[in-house]
Amino acid sequence: MIEIIPAIDIIDGKCVRLSQGDYDRKTIYDASPLSMARQYSSIGIGRLHLVDLDGAKSGEPRNLEVLRQIAGEHLLKIEWGGGIKSHEALMKVFEAGADYAIVGSVAVKQPELMEAWLSEFGGDRIILGADVRNGKVSVNGWMEDSSLTIDDLILRFRPFGLKEVIVTDISKDGMLTGPSTSLYSALERKYPDIIFTVSGGISSIADIREMDVIGLPRVIVGKAIYENRISLDEIEEYMNVD
């Protein structure tokens, strides 16, 4: 059974969603991050994808108080992305309560630092975040494209214990048009030792079912929940099917 991981993207302490990573195309939602986390926990969700969009843009964590509030209730495991550009920032994120750290820009721009973090904390806590646009990995809150591909990063860090990769197709993110099925199935076949998480484009429970059938272990769902394309009841029911 595929693990469903709800996403909470944060700007100024509020739940938001961007379209294709564009900060000028954001939707702000009424629900607070803490109240959403409580709802997810209540239906049996075990892991939360928390993204500090302010941090991704500025280069350092900006919404750690939100992380502290959610982590303080011990509701679920938290993977945090956004603003982790230094060892100091990484430690602040862990100290605030994150169970896992998602590293993207550093992996591209300072690969030796990513290698050191994998060696120090292990692949069980350091997750590679590969946000892809036109086949290349983007960094700094998706505002800058690199010359590297997902394959480049996986091959670089796998010898250092890389275990998990969250792959986001930026062209699909926030668009509710369905995920890039061929991308994920190809990665799953090519790197069977890596745990891939689907991110971007999920629009319905049918999309989740499709990823489950392919055999992918995890899927992140964000805007589809906020836009009522997928209800919490549907998620709960799906998770409870034998």
Answer whether 16's CB lies under 8 Å from 53's CB: yes
Q: How far apart are CA 222 and CA 211, in angstroms?
A: 16
54, 131, 169, 173: the catalytic one is 131
At residue 148, the 3 state secondary structure works out as coil
At residue 23, the 3 state secondary structure works out as strand
212 flagged as catalytic: no
DSSP structure class, residue 207: H
* Nearest residue to 83 (alpha-carbon basis) of 50, 114, 57, 65: 57
9 flagged as catalytic: yes
CA 26 to chain CA mean position, Å: 18
9, 52, 173, 207: the catalytic one is 9
Residues paired with 5 in a beta bridge: 220
Geometric angle at alpha carbon 145, from 191 and 125, rounded to 5°? 45
Answer whether 221's CB lies under 8 Å from 43's CB: no
Answer whether 180's CB lies under 8 Å from 169's CB: yes
User: Which residues are catalytically annotated?
Assistant: 9, 131
